[in-house]
Structure 1
Amino acid sequence: MSETRTAAPQAPEPTRSSTRNALVLVALVWTVQLVALMAALSGIAQADVAIHFRTTDIAWFTLMTLLTGTFFLPFAVKAAALFGKKRVLLVATGLGFVGDLVAALATDYRTLLIGRGIAGVYAATAPLAYAITRDVFPRRWVGLASGILAGGIGLVAFGGPFLSGWLLDDYGFRGVLWFMAISTAASFVLVAAFVPESPIRTAGGRMDWAGGILLGAGVTALVYAVGQGSHWGWDSGRFVGYVIGAVITLVAFVLVERRVAEPLFPLSMTRRRPVWTVLLATSVAAGSLSAVGVVIQLLILMPNIPTVSEGLGWSGTHNAIVTSPISAMIIVAAVGTGVLARRMDARVILGTGSALTVLGYGIGTHLHHNAAQIVEMGLIAGLGTGMVMAIVPIMIIEVVTPEEQALANGMQTLGQGVAQIVVSQLAFVVMAQNGAILKGTQFYLDAGFTNGLWLVVGCCTLGALLVTLIPKSKRLDEVPAGQAA
């Protein structure tokens, strides 16, 4: 039987200087937002990558990192509970750097995907960083720090297009890949230098290898089937076989978790209504928003070729200039959410944010043909995106104990990753119904982009409706938080 130990409260810790707290926050923000930055840069670079390698399977350029990240995430979260969150952060970051190097040096598309797959292990850093935030910051810092970590997506959205525009315009997609490698190395240095180890750890525990393999295999099989469904045929025996195999594997995972002494994800935690409803609603809401970049970036950056492609054909720099007000809106909303969460019901914030994304992208289904329309769509959706992304880690804090924090963050990230992968791949499938292949590259007509946006709107609507399942819980300022909580 495992037990949880926490470091005893010590006087010097709560009075740690604001400068030191700020350095820890900077390191964690860089670590968390590098996951979002990689996704943003990948989305912007994918058009150039598809054309360079002449591939119709460009979806896997972004999905490979999500796929491997999803598979290894449960192991990383469990290892963090056993061996320390900072230690696992450094291991995941080191593997991410190796993958980025392989991708940057790749001379063929298969090697590029292998590198992207290895780099996907870095995705495990985000839930661990959120958990460390609760563990090592004083109570008064926790809400603001969590909001800033999540709200940094706005900084990524703001600076990412300018950065990628410069890299793409001057150095091509190779410049983007090398920047990823350099940034991952910087993340490793920042975490090693400034982030303290969490005092909360499980003593005498063991890794649940069987549960992790079953969960990873089941989710991977399901995601792979969705990704290949359009090629195999949605009614083909191969697709049905993969889906049935995935379901059987996931059922086996649940049965194993009920029997092992130290399960990967304790079912006693996931059976609590506040926990499973928050995990479900936030996974769908945030996962759908993470997937919208697939549609928007292809719409903006794909060229305009009569009867073949009806993208806007903007350069990376022009895209950055037009979308900068949207990014600023995300930042403002996210930081404001971190402050409001101490005074407002988090369910109201999540529901309002999801409703705004539905409204914004709903407008975009009809109006997405020039800069003014993109800004109009983005300002509304950006406000909602900032609210949703910032409230997600705060809602997890509100419904679990400090000892459960890393596990709950891992489950939410896993669910969000699966939602993002499925919605992203379905978006590619939907858009391809109104498109054409030219010289080995898949292009899309306007009807394809419109239908892709409608798919996102439907998924965001589902996320908003799921908020109604969440029962009232403690507010952020009422839950245990801070050093050695």
Structure 2
Amino acid sequence: MPTSTRRTHYWVTFAVLAVSVASYTLMQSLTVPVLSEIEAEFDTNQNTVTWVLTAYLLSASVFTPIMGRLGDAYGKQRMLVVSLAALALGSLAAALAPTIGLLILARVIQGVGGGVLPLAFGIIRDEFPIEKIGGAVSIVSSLLAVGFGAGIVLAGPLTSTLGFRWLFWLPFIVTAVAAVVAVLVVPESPVRTPGRIAVLPAVLLSGWLIALLLGLSQAPDWGWGSPKVIGLLVLAVVLLAAWIRVELVVEVPLIDMKMMRLPGVWTTNLVALLLGVGMYASFGFIPQFNQTPSESGYGFGSSITESGMILLPSAIMTFLTGLVAAPIARRIGPKTVVVIGSVLGAVGMFQLAAFHDEKWQVALANGITGTGIGLAFACLAGLIVAAVTPQQTGVASGMNANIRTIGGSIGTAVMASIVTAHVLPSGFPKEIGYTAGFLVLGGALLAAAIAGLVIPSVSEKKIAKKLDQERNDRDLSIMGA
């Protein structure tokens, strides 16, 4: 039957999707500033408590593309509800966890919620009016960066007033409500990718992602030349090669390698990788810089809350640019917006490397970086959506989000190695480590701008025309069935 007689109003759907993506993204960073408190609460050590982050990262990296592919095959609304239920269940388990082991297990369950990202983009493509798709994708994309920054900003006040367990209670409440609302109001997509999903590609994909991300995350502690790190990275390469080989021969691939080779896909993924290097690593280490006692020759001795407030300009500017990115892209093209945004992000990071003696200097640099990353992120997802068929939207968006995460892992591992290479007698890193690290992150963002020049040029008008044709073909197919 025609789309107009069977679908929920798109703004209702958008509200559910925005809350879902924001909740998932917040869970990536809410625990970052309070790991030391969690370590004390459970009487554990630093190596163990870092798994509160690592477990979530690994789980989300595995399930994001898989849930996207399952949504393409079995229904995006159905898998969105499953993803939200996993976020809610994991948050509840984390809030009640009596031991650090159970808390880490709860974070693994939360990671299944990574599916909300590709599913949200797929639902927007299927349900929204053509002229509204670009704006909705831009805002949801910007929430990826906004949520990450906001989590760091909010962690301090929430923990100091309510206790760290409310970092999980609040997401549980929000995602549980969102899951119920999603069941009631989000329409199921008629766009499906037929065929049974093979198990072996999923196993191999999980294997190389876990080996790669585990090796990268532990390299600063174990040493880049340690047998364990080298072994994990070699294993990742071997499993990656095996995964690609299997995907090329199975009847219904989990990730279509032909799709991944499309110019509009691999170039956008390369930019996403480099942006991930710059964004996630900066959010992880700027709070540490701010909290370093000024007696060390740098830093401000900020509390968790104060440190988060210095990052607030970045979160605000990322959100605001997400609102205006689509209109700008309609005028100058999404590719140009990505390039300009990446350059702005690099300028902010280089400024931070050169000028960080005052809090306002750090806040200003963060605002510039947030503006740039917000612009770039807001257009990346739209470029991916435009480059693939409706049946591939979920898995393509999932891999793009995953590649950002891999970039973040690379950036964080490299930044950690640079920062901790030289340590003061007090145990704090020397200032030169942060300066060099920020320069490297700025270089990654500049490289993202250069890579953005290779993205095939496509106007918003062409994107809209393609989406309109696909929508017409879909509706004719539905009426014919």
Structure 1 residues 373, 398: closer, same or farther in 2, change over 3 A? same
1:163-202 aligned at under 5 Å gives the runs: 163-202=154-193
* Distance of 2:262 and 2:373 partners within structure 1: 27
1:34-433 aligned at under 5 Å gives the runs: 34-50=23-39, 52=41, 53=43, 55-57=45-47, 58-153=49-144, 156=147, 160=151, 163-203=154-194, 205-300=195-290, 302-304=291-293, 306=295, 311-319=299-307, 321-433=309-421
Q: Aligned partner of 1:256: which letter?
A: V
Structure 1 residues 437, 123: closer, same or farther in 2, change over 3 A? farther
Contact 2:264 2:456 in 1 (8 A): yes
Q: Quote how far apart the aligned CAs of 1:50 are.
A: 4.6
Q: 1:469 and 2:451 equivalent? A: no
Aligned-partner SS, 2:383: helix
* Distance of 1:320 and 1:241 partners within structure 2: 37
* Distance of 2:292 and 2:97 partners within structure 1: 25
| Superposition CA RMSD, Å | 2.7
Structure 1 residues 446, 49: closer, same or farther in 2, change over 3 A? farther
Aligned-partner SS, 2:331: coil
Q: Aligned partner of 1:12: which letter?
A: T
Cα deviation code 1:414-464 (max 9, x no counterpart): 2112111222233223222234799xxx85443343333233222212222
Q: Higher helix fraction: Structure 1 or Structure 2?
A: 2
* Distance of 1:234 and 1:449 partners within structure 2: 19
1:3 — aligned with what?
none
Q: 1:456 and 2:441 equivalent? A: yes
Deviates more, 1:147-156 or 1:132-141: 147-156
Deviates more, 1:128-137 or 1:473-482: 473-482
Structure 1 residues 262, 32: closer, same or farther in 2, change over 3 A? same
Contact 2:277 2:441 in 1 (8 A): no
* Distance of 2:148 and 2:229 partners within structure 1: 36
* Distance of 2:4 and 2:94 partners within structure 1: 47
Q: Quote how far apart the aligned CAs of 1:306 are.
A: 4.6
Deviates more, 1:213-222 or 1:310-319: 310-319
* Distance of 2:371 and 2:229 partners within structure 1: 38
2:479 — aligned with what?
none
Contact 1:342 1:477 in 2 (8 A): no
1:29 to 18, 22, 41: 18
Q: Quote how far apart the aligned CAs of 1:116 are.
A: 1.5
Structure 1 residues 155, 294: closer, same or farther in 2, change over 3 A? closer
Q: Aligned partner of 2:159: which letter?
A: L
Q: Quote how far apart the aligned CAs of 1:474 are.
A: 4.7
Contact 2:86 2:109 in 1 (8 A): yes
* Distance of 1:137 and 1:245 partners within structure 2: 42
Q: Aligned partner of 2:405: which letter?
A: G
* Distance of 2:424 and 2:177 partners within structure 1: 41
Aligned-partner SS, 1:342: helix
Contact 1:85 1:132 in 2 (8 A): yes
2:467 — aligned with what?
480
TM normalised by structure 2 equals 0.89
Q: Aligned partner of 2:328: which letter?
A: L
* Distance of 2:401 and 2:149 partners within structure 1: 23
Contact 1:398 1:474 in 2 (8 A): no
* Distance of 1:42 and 1:445 partners within structure 2: 25
Aligned-partner SS, 1:173: coil
Structure 1 residues 245, 412: closer, same or farther in 2, change over 3 A? same
* Distance of 2:97 and 2:299 partners within structure 1: 28
* Distance of 1:243 and 1:317 partners within structure 2: 37
* Distance of 2:36 and 2:428 partners within structure 1: 9
Uncovered stretches (5+) of structure 1, i.e. residues with no partner: 1-7
Q: Quote how far apart the aligned CAs of 1:11 are.
A: 4.2
Structure 1 residues 102, 244: closer, same or farther in 2, change over 3 A? same
Count of residues in correspondence between the two structures? 468
TM normalised by structure 1 equals 0.88
Structure 1 residues 394, 181: closer, same or farther in 2, change over 3 A? same
* Distance of 1:360 and 1:323 partners within structure 2: 13
* Distance of 1:310 and 1:169 partners within structure 2: 25
Structure 1 residues 170, 187: closer, same or farther in 2, change over 3 A? same
Contact 1:168 1:316 in 2 (8 A): no
* Distance of 1:129 and 1:144 partners within structure 2: 13
Q: Quote how far apart the aligned CAs of 1:170 are.
A: 1.2
Q: Aligned partner of 2:196: which letter?
A: R
Structure 1 residues 460, 48: closer, same or farther in 2, change over 3 A? farther
Contact 1:153 1:330 in 2 (8 A): no
Cα deviation code 1:71-114 (max 9, x no counterpart): 12232122112210111111122122222223222344333222
* Distance of 1:436 and 1:175 partners within structure 2: 35
Uncovered stretches (5+) of structure 2, i.e. residues with no partner: 476-481
Structure 1 residues 365, 34: closer, same or farther in 2, change over 3 A? same
